[in-house]
Structures are given as C-alpha cells and as structure tokens.
Structure 1
Amino acid sequence: MSRHSDSRNSSRLDRRLQALSDARELGEGVLPDNSLQEVFNVLERASSRRSLSGDHTVVGFFGATGSGKSSLFNAVSGAEIATAAARRPTTSEPLAGVWGAEGSEPLLDWLEVRNRHHAAAVDGFANEETGLILLDLPDFDSTKASNREVVQRMVGLVDVLVWVLDPQKYADAAVHNDFLTRLASHEAVTLVVLNQVDRLPQDDVQPVLESLRSILARDGLARVQVLAASALTGAGVDAVRAAIRSVAVKRKAQSQRLAADLTKASAELSGVSGAGEAAGVRPAAKTRLTDELAVAANVPVVVRAVRQSYRLESVKRTGWPVTRWLSRFRPDPLRRLNLRSAAPSELNRTSLPPAGAPERARADAAVREFADAASVGAPGPWRAAIRGAAREGRERLPDALDQAIAGTDLAANRNSWWWAVFNVVQWLALLTVVAGLGWLGGLAALGYFQMPVPEVPRVEGWPVPTLMIALGVGLGIFLAITGRFIAAAAANARAAKARKRLNAAVAAVVQELVVEPVEVEISRLAAFNAALRTAGAG
C-alpha cells in the first residue's frame, strides 16, 4: 500500500473517530448513559491503540475448552510456547508470542500481557519483516469469571480475532450468540479455524465446513475466511499461518479493526437513538403558539383597556365642558392595570390577574402542541428531548409574559392632535352660549327695572342672543357626538397598534423560552445524525 493511501486512510479514520466523538457528546442527556459509555470506551481504546506501535499486528486466539486452541497456537508459532493438553487443561492468562520485539513492550503493557515469549523465526514469520504478536487467551467458556473477563476485554483490543472451533462444538450457541454475532462488522479482521479435523472422516470435513459457513452467514459473517486445520497432524497449519502473515504484512489490520469498531459502535448508537429527523419549527406553528400564549397572558384584556382608556380620555378632553367633569369619576382601565402610571421602562409588573387554572392549562396545551408538531419524525429519545426543552421554560412563562406586557409601549400617555382642536372649539361654543345668555339676562334685567330696553339685532327674524345660545349648544352637542365617533375609530386604531406591539413582546418571550430551546434540540438531532452517518461510513 502506498504512503499516500496510508495517509488517506488515516485521515478518513480520524474523521470517523471525531464524528463518533461528536455524536457521543451530542447524545449526552438524551441517550442512555451506558450506551454513551460504550462509545467512549471505543474511542478511548482507539486513541490508545493508535498511540502505540503501528508496526505490530496483534492476533488473538479465542476458543472454548477442548478446542485445541493452545495446540494450534503452538503449531502456528512453530514452537511449544503455550503449555497444552494434560499439563495445562485450560489457559489461565494471556500468553504472547512476539516476532519483532522492538516497540512491542508498551503495546503488551497496554494489553496487560505479562507472559511474553520472543519467538524464533518460522516459515512466514520473520522478525526482520513482520511485527507480529500472537496471543493465546483463556477459554471463553471458562468457569472462572476472571478468565471470561480477560476474553471479553481482549475481544475489544486485539487487531485480528482468530476463533478456534472444534468439530464437536462448532455450532455451540455460546460462541455464536455471545461473540460472533456481535462482531458481524469485523469480518475483515476475523478468521475462523475448524481445528481437530483429524477426528473427522475425510468425507465429513467438507460438509462440516459448509455447515459452519452457513451458521456464520446467519451470524452476519458470510465473507469471513474459514480454514480447516489439525494442530496434531499439522494439516492446514501452513494455511492458517499464511492467512495471519498476509494480514500482518499489509499492516492494515489495526486500522481495519478500528474501522470495524467504529461501524459497530455507530450502529449500536443508531439503534439506541432510532432513525429520523424532526419536522422542525414551522412559522404557522410558532404563530399559533404566540397567539395562544397571548390570550393566556391576558393580551386581549390589555387591548380592551387601551381602547376604553382612549375613549374615556377623549371624552375628558373633547366633551361638553359643562358635563365632561362627570367622566373623571370613571376609573381609567389602564391605570387599574398599572399600565398608565409610569413609563414602560419603569414598570416591572402589571396588575393583571394572575393566570388561573384555565389559563395555565391553555398555555401548557399550546406549548405541548407546538413541541409535538416540531418533533414529528424524530426518534423516541429525541422527541422526548424536544418536548422537554419546550417545557423547561414553562414555569418562567407567566412572569416573563407579564414583564413583557409591562415593558410594552402602549402609547397610553400620548395625546391626539384633534383633542386640542375640539377642546378649543368646545370652549368657544360654551363662551358663545354664556355670552348669549348674558345678553338676554341683561335685557331682562333692564325690563325688570322699567328701564329702556334697546332693540336686539335680528337675523332672519331671530334675535342674535338667542341664535348665539342655539349655535353654541348645537355646536357643543355636534362636537360631542362627532368626537365620540372619532374617538371610537382612533381608539380601535390605537388598540390595534397596542395588540401588534403586545404580540411582538409575547413572541419575543416565546422565542426565548420555548422556540429557541426546541430549535437547539432539533439542530442537535440533525448534527447527531450527520455525525453518526460520517462515523458509520465504513
């Protein structure tokens, strides 16, 4: 393999490792801790293995009691490295045969293998060209828990896995269900050896091998290499050694093993997470949520108060001066809500009634409906996370909405230009009435005291003082009625502006406390899926 190809593969592996690390971090708080811990362990093992000797390929021999694993290990090694048969019925701890000792010590320390044998060159294994470590491991079906733990640990650490089976127990569920099925993604670094074929009649060897291949196919290992051998007679041992040497010489086993681990970890994390993307936040759903929370926060009450307050103030400013003072006895609805007495920036709270059970239920239902719509399509754990994010700000919503309303400029203290015009004309009309009444009163007084009464000017036969009174009263009534119509229209316009500003304030609170947390979780799911796709792209 060229140096350029090695560099490219290494870079690809780096990207996959980083992607799996990103997926693990993104899944925190959403996916089960034990699943995330498994991913972390994979990443830790990968980091540790890559920091150690890249010139050595670690091959582990795994097998059940009586499979002849240690005997095959010796036969492949070309020396009695492992004590077998009657002298050591079961392997109690890992034993290493090392070809190319330089640089192997830190790797063996990491593997926690104390028993090490610097093996002599044998056909296919030459120290000068092959960095190779063969491990004879405890039996995976050992009655000792410590032995089984060693096997489980080594299954996750070695670069190449050699499974030694025997004709009597090659279909044993223990090896297939507990190990091989779980390593379906590791076919490139797995070798299966049917040992002790010397115990089978020659005509039965091929059928047994076919049966084994069929079982392996069901395990997901249809393309794994299967060899027949006999440690006792030496049959097939050269083929096993050649297969191991081929893997070691290519120097690809370490990266293939790590790539297989990444594929497996990604698949398992994907299985825990589930597949799918969230529908996301739709503008219509956000608008509906804002509208519902605006109602729950009493925005319609405030809008109605703005309308009523404006109309009341209009009467105070433009009504018939003789009767307008009566309007001062009517309370200002905005002042009652503490929304008129100060500038918006000086208000912390309104006097709106606190949200009762119906309002809270309405707000909760609106938030739940919004979260459900946004999480459509998301897998179960992420759907729960999205819903949880939407609910996180639920307790803060009432106060935040009240403060938003209190901080909204309702234009309650702004005068309208027409008030001054109507007020001046109303006072002129009143003065005209007063002048007319005074004129007529003066004439009446002169007559009462038997004094000469001057002729009163007339217009079309009507006395001017009488016309002045009629004109002033008529104008005052006209202005009062007209003012009410204008006030109603202006009040509606001001209420509409207030509603728009209040809805904008509510929308800002909704965005901060509900929408943004939901969008963060949806973005986290999208990033998680993207990272997982990269990590699992073997």
Structure 2
Amino acid sequence: MSRHRGQRRTSRLDDRLEALNEARELAEGVLPAEALSAVYGVLDRAASRRSLSRGHTVVGFFGATGSGKSSLFNAVLGERIATAAATRPTTDEPLAAVWGAEGSGPLLDWLGVARRHLARPVEGFADERSGIILLDLPDFDSTVGEHRETVERLVGMVDVLVWVLDPQKYADAALHAGFLAPLAGRDAVTLAVLNQTDRLGAEDLPDVLASLRSLLDAEGLEGVDIVPASALTGHGVGAVRGAIRRVAAGNQAAAARLAAEVTAAARTLAAASGDGTPAGASPGSVRRLADQLSAAANVPLVVEAVRAHTRREAAARTGWPLMRWIRKVGRDPLARLGLTRTGDTPSANRTSLPPPSPAERARTDAAVRGFADAASEGAPGPWRALIRSAAREGRDRLSDALDLAVAGTDLGARRRAWWWGLANAVQWLALATAVGGLVWLGALAGLGFLQLPVPETPRVEGWPLPTLLIVAGIGTGLALSVLLAPFAALSARRRAAKARRRLTEAVRSVAQREVVGPVREAIGRHAGFVAALEDARG
C-alpha cells in the first residue's frame, strides 16, 4: 500500500511539474525575468533531484555560529565526526554522514559535498536500509562569504531542513528574514530544534518555546515542529531523531520537498502575474472594430461606386439604343477606383482608392486601441500589456491589408440582371420597328421623287402604317427606358447592398487576422497560464 501511495504521489508531482513548466513557458516575455528565473531554478533542481537516488533522504543541519549545530549533528549521529566550537565557525565545508552508501555518490556529487562518512547504525533511527544522509553545513552567519553561499545553495537542494536555534539567537532577524520566512509552505519537510535548553531554567523554557512558536507562525510556518534539545546533556536528542525519522519515512521527503517547491514557485508566478480576468473580445466590440475599419477602408465610397456602376450598366444595356452613347461619356466609377475585374477572378493588385490621411490613420489607431482596451479590461497589468501589444502588432499592416481585401472582393460588377437581356431585345426590336418605318417612308419618297408609281400606303385608323411604325418604335423605346429606370435603381441598390456585405466580411476577415485573432490568442495565453498555475498548485 505504501508503494502504491508513493507511485500516486510521484504521478501527481509529475503532473504538477509539467503544469508549472507550461505556466512558465506561457509567461515568457510577459512576467519579470526574476520570477521566471526562480521558477526555472525549481524545475531544474526538481529534474536533477528526481534523476538521482530516490532511496536516500538528505537532511541538512542549518544554524548560526554558536548554536551548537555541529554538536547536535554529532549527538544525532552517535559519534563525533564534526568539529564543534562555541564562538567561531568551524565547519568550512559540508560534511555528510551516510547510511546506505550504494547510490549516494551521484547525489552527493550533485549537492557538492566532498566530505563523506559512512555512519554506524543507530538503533531505532538509521541503518544501511534507511538511506538517510545527514549534512553538517557551515554557519549561515559566517563572516566567510563562501560559507553563506554554500548554505544558500543547499537550502534549496536538501530534502529535509533542520534549523538548529539557540536561546540567545532564535529570534535573529537575519535568520528569519533571510532563511525561515522564504520557507513558508515547506512545513512538512522543516524542523526547528531549540538547542542548548540546558542553559534555560525550567520555568523559562515554555516562554521561549512559545515565543519561537509565535515567530514561526507569523512567517507562515505553522506546521513546523519545534523540538527542544540539548546536545550537551543528550536531552531531546532521541526526539530529534524521531522527528527526522518521521519526515524521512518511506523516502518520500524528497517528493514532499519538491511538491512544496512547486507550490511556492506557483505562488511566485501568481504574485508576479496579479489577479484578474480579461473581458475578452465580445461580438459587439468586434463589430464596432469592423465598422470603424470599414470606414477607414473607404467601403462607403466603394459601395456608392458599385451603385453608380450598376445604374450606368443597366442604362447602357436597357436604354434607348440611339441614346446609349451618352451613358458612355465619362469613366466608369469602379474603373476610377481601380476595381475593375477580368473574368471572375478578383484583382490581387492595389486599388486606386485615396490613401488614408493622417486623421484617418489616427482614427484607425484609436479603433484598434479602443478594441484592445475593451478586450483587456480586467486583466492583470503584465497580461493587459501583452493583449494591447498583440493588437498593435498588426496595426502597421492594416492599411495595405484593407486595400488588398477591397481589391480582392467580388463586387458583382460583371454580373448582368436577367431582365437586362430581355429589355435589350425589346429595345432593339423597337428600334428596328422605327427604322423599318423610316425606310418605308424613305422608299415611298424616293419613288415619288423619281416620278414612279407609288403604291398605296396601308393605313390604320387613317394613319399611314410607316408613320405608325416610327412612332411606335421610338415611343416604345423611350417609354421602356422610363419604365425600367426604377428597376435599374432597385437593382443598383441591391447590388450595392450585396457589395457592402461582402466588403464588410472582407474587412472583418482582415480585422480578425491582424487584430482580433492576436488579441484572442493573447487572452487564451493568459487563460492557459491561469489553468496551468492552478494545476501546478495541486
């Protein structure tokens, strides 16, 4: 059962480490480098520690000069191997006492501990099968800089931390601010030993222990056990051994320490990120952005050109044929804008639309900025900056992208309404009728001029048929032109409306690609970061 619990704990730790690394990757370039570096250090140490012996538990003894740290180390070990002194630092480099040498070498190499001692079994505490490694470390307040550096390095590497305090220095500010306070959350793998209790009277010990308890609680170390002991008299040494043994039981202290480090690293990222959730890119804000960009892309101008072009084409194809040349006077509205098409393939070239003025560019920038501000509303500071930056990245490409989108939109300029052909046929039939009447009258006039017999002209209600053909042909053509004008205007409006929808969709696609998409990606990045952080916290 213990083995299965260990496997589940390892699996959970794997998931949490993976989530922490994902959160770190998502936060790259967003959160401060110091926070990311600290998290990377945790991940690096975790990877290194987990690749080494999991059958050993490394217990570090930390303390100030004169705390009796080395004396307590010897007492717990049951033999004198560490040099002890009361007033000056005597531990120049870490010293390891090892139970179970097999597999400990690479672990101690990683820790940078060269001095190693194979410890004798201590009944009820440690033997070769227990895999416990005790480290006697330099004093954290040593005047030698290398000593402090060694302590600072190993504080983040050992599996279990035993802080040896003495009645005179247990409240030392340097100890609490520099070492104990940052260990909040590592309660399960941290022990506090109040050494040299033989110097206290029986009536003073409870007060000192209560004071130390209060200090630790204030620093978030409520779960840290405090063990009173005296290396000199041996009082409490058994309790220290028992506390270490309990923490190291099942060789799960390393995993517990790493789990605590992951939790602390997740808190570091959370603190650097800040709280809040971005409002996101709502459909309404996307529509407003597309509308503002449509104005910047001269969509209203193009729509009006489509309407004018359609009326012009309708008149040219359905009007009185003899008057159609008038419709050809002046350049086509779409041609003036460079929006003519060849076949059914949209143009990939630039249009001839007027370039945006400084005022229009300012309005475009304001539209993008307003969209980004609305989408990032409520986001923590670093992520709000990321979302705004994502919106601005495509801003310089907008003008060209919008122009190409307009140029590539099928405006339906070459499509002909079904009734145009029918009206055109009727117009030409009416013209042919009028021309037929003119030719008939001309023929009759020619015969008369040549003094040739003129056949009798058919009449309808007393009117000569050729004259009726002329009047009917011209009248029909002109009347048809007048009657079809409203239909031409309606067709132009419909085609302009369709062009507006297509242009708006093209502009919306540009907005999606250059602004909305990057903004949503940045928001999704924040959401992924938050989710990964929650998983890392476990």
Range class of TM-score, shorter chain: over 0.9
1:482-493 aligned at under 5 Å gives the runs 482-493=483-494
* Conservation of the 8 A alpha-carbon contact between 2:99 and 2:129: no
- 1:133 aligns with 133
- 2:263 aligns with 263
- 2:209 aligns with 209
**Letter of the aligned partner of 1:177 in structure 2?**
A
Q: Which runs of 5+ in 2 are unaligned?
A: none
- 2:351 aligns with 350
- 1:381 aligns with 382
- 1:81 aligns with 81
Please give the alpha-carbon distance, in whole angstroms, between the structure 2 residues aligned to 1:101 and 1:465.
127
Alignment of 1:311 onto 2:311: yes
* Conservation of the 8 A alpha-carbon contact between 2:279 and 2:376: yes
* Conservation of the 8 A alpha-carbon contact between 1:94 and 1:114: yes
Please give the alpha-carbon distance, in whole angstroms, between the structure 2 residues aligned to 1:85 and 1:486.
109
Question: What SS is found at the alignment partner of 1:96?
Answer: strand
Task: Among all aligned residue pairs of Structure 1 and Structure 2, give the percentage whose two residues are the same amino acid.
Answer: 62
- 1:496 aligns with 497
1:191 deviates by 0.4
1:85 deviates by 1.0
- 1:21 aligns with 21
- 1:514 aligns with 515
419-428 vs 223-232, greater mean Cα deviation: 419-428
**TM-score relative to the length of structure 1:** 0.93
1:467 deviates by 3.6
- 1:529 aligns with 530
455-464 vs 142-151, greater mean Cα deviation: 455-464
Alignment of 1:174 onto 2:161: no
1:398-413 aligned at under 5 Å gives the runs 398-413=399-414
The CA RMSD measured in Å over matched residues stands at 2.3
Please give the alpha-carbon distance, in whole angstroms, between the structure 2 residues aligned to 1:30 and 1:2.
42
* Conservation of the 8 A alpha-carbon contact between 1:314 and 1:483: no
In structure 2, the CA distance between the partners of 1:189 and 1:86, relative to structure 1 (3 Å rule), is closer
Question: What SS is found at the alignment partner of 1:396?
Answer: helix
* Conservation of the 8 A alpha-carbon contact between 1:278 and 1:378: yes
**Letter of the aligned partner of 2:494 in structure 1?**
A
- 1:250 aligns with 250
1:473 deviates by 3.1
- 1:332 aligns with 332
**Letter of the aligned partner of 1:114 in structure 2?**
A
In structure 2, the CA distance between the partners of 1:54 and 1:438, relative to structure 1 (3 Å rule), is closer
Alignment of 1:66 onto 2:66: yes
What whole-Å deviation, never above 9, does each CA across 1:345-366 have from its counterpart, x for those lacking one? 4532211122222332222222
335-344 vs 142-151, greater mean Cα deviation: 335-344
What whole-Å deviation, never above 9, does each CA across 1:121-173 have from its counterpart, x for those lacking one? 33433323421111111121222222211111111000111111121221122
Question: What SS is found at the alignment partner of 1:278?
Answer: coil
**TM-score relative to the length of structure 2:** 0.93
**Letter of the aligned partner of 2:172 in structure 1?**
D
Question: What SS is found at the alignment partner of 1:202?
Answer: coil
467-476 vs 295-304, greater mean Cα deviation: 467-476
Question: What SS is found at the alignment partner of 1:158?
Answer: coil
Alignment of 1:224 onto 2:228: no
**Letter of the aligned partner of 2:407 in structure 1?**
A
**Letter of the aligned partner of 2:167 in structure 1?**
P
Alignment of 1:285 onto 2:257: no
1:34-53 aligned at under 5 Å gives the runs 34-53=34-53
Aligned length, in residue pairs: 537
**Letter of the aligned partner of 2:84 in structure 1?**
A
What whole-Å deviation, never above 9, does each CA across 1:387-445 have from its counterpart, x for those lacking one? 22222222222222222221221121222232222223223333444444555566677
Please give the alpha-carbon distance, in whole angstroms, between the structure 2 residues aligned to 1:104 and 1:291.
69
Please give the alpha-carbon distance, in whole angstroms, between the structure 2 residues aligned to 1:372 and 1:339.
35
Please give the alpha-carbon distance, in whole angstroms, between the structure 2 residues aligned to 1:321 and 1:130.
108
**Letter of the aligned partner of 2:360 in structure 1?**
E
* Conservation of the 8 A alpha-carbon contact between 1:294 and 1:506: yes
In structure 2, the CA distance between the partners of 1:89 and 1:455, relative to structure 1 (3 Å rule), is closer
1:225 deviates by 0.2
Question: What SS is found at the alignment partner of 1:61?
Answer: strand
- 2:144 aligns with 144
1:387-466 aligned at under 5 Å gives the runs 387-437=388-438, 457-466=458-467
Q: Which runs of 5+ in 1 are unaligned?
A: none
Please give the alpha-carbon distance, in whole angstroms, between the structure 2 residues aligned to 1:87 and 1:193.
19
- 1:367 aligns with 368
Question: What SS is found at the alignment partner of 2:96?
Answer: strand
Please give the alpha-carbon distance, in whole angstroms, between the structure 2 residues aligned to 1:103 and 1:340.
80
* Conservation of the 8 A alpha-carbon contact between 2:89 and 2:139: no
1:265 deviates by 0.6
Question: What SS is found at the alignment partner of 2:227?
Answer: strand
What whole-Å deviation, never above 9, does each CA across 1:164-202 have from its counterpart, x for those lacking one? 112122112211112211111100001011112222222
1:87 deviates by 9.2
**Letter of the aligned partner of 1:406 in structure 2?**
A
- 2:193 aligns with 193
**Letter of the aligned partner of 2:351 in structure 1?**
T
- 1:301 aligns with 301
Please give the alpha-carbon distance, in whole angstroms, between the structure 2 residues aligned to 1:287 and 1:195.
71
